[in-house]
Structure 1
């Protein structure tokens, strides 16, 4: 059983959903027909803005409909996070849109206090696992990567999926932690980052990557491009059977 992913690594236009969706439409034209899941970066329609009120409140609904339309027309799942208005306040919400128009979501648990994300967005309070084409997928967002207790594989997921706006000065941590999460959780790990510069003066150089359960790199990019990678669940299960490290994991639970 295989899952074919297309990882869309791109520059983002600041706080401009329409321009970003136009750009991703161009990139989607290069996605292989074999693709099962397309993954976009964190806040793919706006960039990592700490001013969600500047984004039109109906932009989230329009973006959701764009995801629904593209998922249906291409017969793929489409995933990425965006600014999501709540009844009061906002969330950094990871959307997983299925080809049939149904979708799942996860709200970022660890808001990035260094830039005041905790003041602009409400923190999520649930860890979730979704099933798609025989794979159990655990979604996480950017800063979540630094907290291994939260991502700990107690649900027997197959794929730990990160979307991010992770800047160049700390990209070594991104590379290191993605590989570490794969090894310690005996799972595939995929991280999709952005490129370019934002209005806060930060530079992003990508390093979108995929790793297997042994920490071996399956894909990597520093370019604006569609990165293709295929994950094989049977191979994952073979590794876990040969090296049953998860049987010895600690029994503590995170206190959130």
Structure 2
């Protein structure tokens, strides 16, 4: 779809936000599709989120992505939240409609599942039990996506048991919350384990988990992409497990956003992935 009459604008709102690789990703697509436009990082304090979202339409933005700490607060600000985002409990993408109203959706679930499919051909959510570590916004998107893909058993673990139980109670089957003390044993017989916490991210402590009971045929996944290999993934790789980092989740969640903003569904190519990897 050509847009010869206007300069296209989108961005990502967060606090902080300058570490984000989203501008590189989206500006690559502008260039690839020969479009005049720009995707910019928008450092927005939590108290300024409502004003910032309200300025999108007057400034000519097609929409924006949201990152920490705005994904839940934005649900109270936009005019409409779709069923998917409401189910997950967070917004990752805002679309500015023709009348200036704002709609919110969540593309993290799409990004996670498509990354796994792209990196691990033949992967199936129903291949066996899946252990998910963490109970924040990322975990909600991952659990929702896995359940929708047909997972029959999701073992959800979090340091604060009440948060994990809250998700399990809200989502229902196949999610079962387990106490943090059972995290090592919860890996027994698992076909997949996913870290959705910030543990292992640059500047954060490593994830406190022992992989001894994880079957060697299991897949270990992390939604972190800085660094590309967290200590958790490195430990899994060294013992023979397949691993997938979170970069592809970032790249793939941009595709439905572009479809909503500009009517184009771009591709996540090996060239794009390599370009972003070189900056990490």
Q: Which is richer in strand?
A: 1
Structure number with greater Rg is 2
Q: Which is richer in helix?
A: 2
Structures share fold, TM-score greater than 0.5: no
TM bucket by the smaller chain?
0.3 to 0.5
Q: Using CA pairs below 8 Å that are at least 6 residues apart, which structure has the higher relative contact order? A: 1
**TM-score (normalizing by structure 1):** 0.35
